[in-house]
Amino acid sequence: MSESDFDVVVLAVKPAMAREAIGSLPGTVLSRAVLVSVMAGVGCSEMSDAAGNCAPVVRAMPNTAVMVNQGCTGLFSTTLVDPAKRGQIQKLFEAVGIAVWLEREAQVDAVTAISGSGPAYYHLFSEALANAGVELGLPIELARQLAAQTALGAATLQCQPQADFAALREAVTSPNGTTAAAIAKFEENDQLRRLVMLAAQAAHARNMAIQMLVALVAGSAVGALLPQFASDLSPLSAAFMKLIKALGIANIGKGANVGRLGLRAIIYFEVLTTLAMAMGLLVSRLFEPGAGMNIDYHTLNTNAISSFVATAEHRTTVSWLLSIIPDTFLSAFINGNLLPILLMAVMFGMALLKMGARASSLVDMMEKMSEAVFGMVGMVMKFAPLAVFGAIGYTIGNYGLASMVPLLKFLVLFYACCVVFIALVLGSVCLYTRVSLCRLIMYLRVEILLAFGTASSEAVLPNIMKKLVEGGVKKHVVGFVIPAGFSFNLDGSSMYFVMAIMFVAQACNVPLTLSQELSMILVFMLTSKGIAGVAGAGFVTLAATLQMFPKFRSPASYCCWVSIVSWTPCVP
């Protein structure tokens, strides 16, 4: 058989080897054969690019049931695949089950979460069912046989034409019978349905997490190898941040039940923020990351941050408190500062409470608006890997890898301190609330990677709120606590501020007494609030704090050195 006889080439290699595998194909094959990929996470554009944009490409997501001719395969093709070739590919996969064509490539990830990973869900349930049979006194082999045959029979019923899953369940469930008792346990607090939804979302999010990691690596490589090109990538991150920020602000304003909840939340925020700053201070005193650098602050160029320092010189406690109160209702949302938005949200929620039943139609409308906003968030999140790629590429391309080496000790120390804080402090909170810290991190891994890559927790505000509600947290709790936390519970930023000033003091040989260091924590407890969503607020906060310590004779010069630490996009 010659190369020209090939009509279909199936790519079944590891995703990392995709480009190499396609590149090894002869040009005569690429010019006429359809490339069918069963690789997870490798998009059509990537395969087309590897093939020189001349080969028709199909993405296929089968499941393991194809081994017994009962598989389910989702298919998506590029425009180069004509109807005749689509029919040929469909027949190929229908030989081992059913095959369905998808309208959008993004649906391939959804198919992966439902049918691609689905057999494992059923195997897990059958395993649990068989184990329950053993606990009830059945031999293990008999329990497995019963579980497997039950699954086969139920699946056969479900595959009948116009089968309704709910009707099939109700047909087996007699009122007050044994099945009804079992179903009631599954449906208790809607926990089974919620678990299934969380499992499917975790499988769906896995592809996004892979894309984010690829973007981090690719952005670093482009920044190091093509610095001039990488310096032009910052608009990717900036555009994404503007979109997600707008959606985040649009979603705030629905909180109603505050009172005791608000008081407990604020106390919790202050305790954790203080612990974060104390830990940062302790680590800085023990390891002294800036010692021995002997920086002369007179030699530093302060032009780049002069505007931020000028703002800080006029910032007082009274002006900060007044800034929380917006000039008008709309100006709170226009300026993007989270504290005025939160104030308006709380007042609006309290007004709705006083209205009682008369506000029900307005609340319903706001719920529908919330669903629309989350739909928009889903669309914007598709571009998150591009934002991470642009931020990382711009940083390394603009400043270079070598320029970041002297600050490596500080960065490693800061991240190590964050990890310890998460393990000890947040781990203790999770233990007290009976929540698995590891599962929580895995559930929010996409949001963590995005916040890390773009240096903004603001980028994940809408998605975190959505996921927590889907995970079972009450809407009114999420609606108040999460936006409030973005202004009052900035643990990472608070730790960073303390460590940054300690780093500067050590690097510039400015001695600080323990009482001055503790005073610095007290000052930061006030000045660090409400910096989320305000451009340059970090520099303003640092400069305003340095103004209060006479030993820092030129705050602008010291802030200039601190600004170097913020080169990396993953520093808050």
What's the mean pLDDT in 310-337?
56
> What's the confidence (pLDDT) of residue 37?
86
Helix, strand or coil, per DSSP, at residue 473: coil
> What's the confidence (pLDDT) of residue 570?
44
User: Is residue 376 predicted with pLDDT exceeding 70?
Assistant: no
21-25, 150-154, 222-226: which has the minimum mean pLDDT?
Answer: 222-226
> What's the confidence (pLDDT) of residue 43?
78
> What's the confidence (pLDDT) of residue 502?
84
133-137, 468-472, 548-552: which has the minimum mean pLDDT?
Answer: 548-552
Helix, strand or coil, per DSSP, at residue 459: helix
Tokens 């079992």: give the residue. 182
> What's the confidence (pLDDT) of residue 316?
53
> What's the confidence (pLDDT) of residue 572?
45
What's the mean pLDDT in 130-139?
90
What's the mean pLDDT in 416-439?
90
pLDDT tens sequence across 328-370: 666 655 555 555 665 666 666 667 666 766 766 766 666 566 5
Q: Which is more confidently placed, 528 or 490?
A: 490
> What's the confidence (pLDDT) of residue 243?
45
What sign does the CA torsion over 283, 287, 289, 294 have? positive
Tokens 């407890």: give the residue. 525
> What's the confidence (pLDDT) of residue 312?
43
Assign domain 3-108 to its CATH superfamily: NAD(P)-binding Rossmann-like Domain (3.40.50.720)
DSSP letter, residue 404:
G
Closest by Cα among 465, 508, 500 to 486: 465
What's the mean pLDDT in 247-266?
55
What's the mean pLDDT in 51-65?
84
- Which residue intervals of the chain bear CATH 1.10.3730.10? 118-172
Q: Which is more confidently placed, 530 or 203?
A: 203
> What's the confidence (pLDDT) of residue 279?
92
What's the mean pLDDT in 514-532?
71
Identity of the highest mean pLDDT range in 148-152, 464-468, 536-540: 148-152
- Which residue intervals of the chain bear CATH 3.40.50.720? 3-108
**pLDDT tier for residue 217 given thresholds of 50, 70 and 90:** low
Architecture of domain 193-565: Orthogonal Bundle (1.10)
Evaluate whether 281 touches 414 at the Cβ level (below 8 Å).
no
Q: Which is more confidently placed, 83 or 360?
A: 83
The kind and range of the H/E element at 60 are strand 57-61
Q: Which is more confidently placed, 311 or 288?
A: 288
- Which residue intervals of the chain bear CATH 1.10.3860.10? 193-565
The kind and range of the H/E element at 451 are helix 445-454
What's the mean pLDDT in 372-399?
56
User: Is residue 475 predicted with pLDDT exceeding 90?
Assistant: no
Helix, strand or coil, per DSSP, at residue 37: strand
Mean pLDDT over each residue of the chain, to the nearest integer: 72
> What's the confidence (pLDDT) of residue 568?
45
Evaluate whether 558 touches 504 at the Cβ level (below 8 Å).
yes
User: Is residue 541 predicted with pLDDT exceeding 70?
Assistant: no
Dihedral angle of Cα 139, 145, 148, 153, to the nearest 10 degrees: -130
> What's the confidence (pLDDT) of residue 250?
40
User: Is residue 258 predicted with pLDDT exceeding 70?
Assistant: no
> What's the confidence (pLDDT) of residue 100?
92
What's the mean pLDDT in 55-59?
86
- pTM flag (> 0.95): no
The CATH class of the 118-172 domain is mainly alpha
User: Is residue 492 predicted with pLDDT exceeding 60?
Assistant: yes
120-134, 235-249, 424-438: which has the minimum mean pLDDT?
Answer: 235-249
Q: How far is CA 230 from CA 225, 401, 570, in A?
A: 9, 13, 17
Query: What tokens were used for 272?
Result: 């954790």
191-200, 353-362, 414-423, 523-532: which has the minimum mean pLDDT?
Answer: 523-532
Q: How far apart are CA 59 and CA 43, in angstroms?
A: 8
> What's the confidence (pLDDT) of residue 506?
81
Identity of the highest mean pLDDT range in 116-130, 253-267, 554-568: 116-130
**pLDDT tier for residue 528 given thresholds of 50, 70 and 90:** low
> What's the confidence (pLDDT) of residue 257?
47
What's the mean pLDDT in 550-559?
51
User: Is residue 561 predicted with pLDDT exceeding 70?
Assistant: no
**pLDDT tier for residue 73 given thresholds of 50, 70 and 90:** very high
Q: How far apart are CA 76 and CA 95, in angstroms?
A: 18
**pLDDT tier for residue 247 given thresholds of 50, 70 and 90:** very low
Q: How far apart are CA 445 and CA 206, in angstroms?
A: 9
What's the mean pLDDT in 22-27?
78
Share of the chain above pLDDT 90, in %: 7
> What's the confidence (pLDDT) of residue 83?
87
Q: Which is more confidently placed, 533 or 262?
A: 262
Helix, strand or coil, per DSSP, at residue 24: coil
25-34, 80-89, 169-178, 403-412: which has the minimum mean pLDDT?
Answer: 403-412
Longest dimension (CA), the chain: 85
Closest by Cα among 503, 520, 498 to 565: 503
User: Is residue 61 predicted with pLDDT exceeding 70?
Assistant: yes
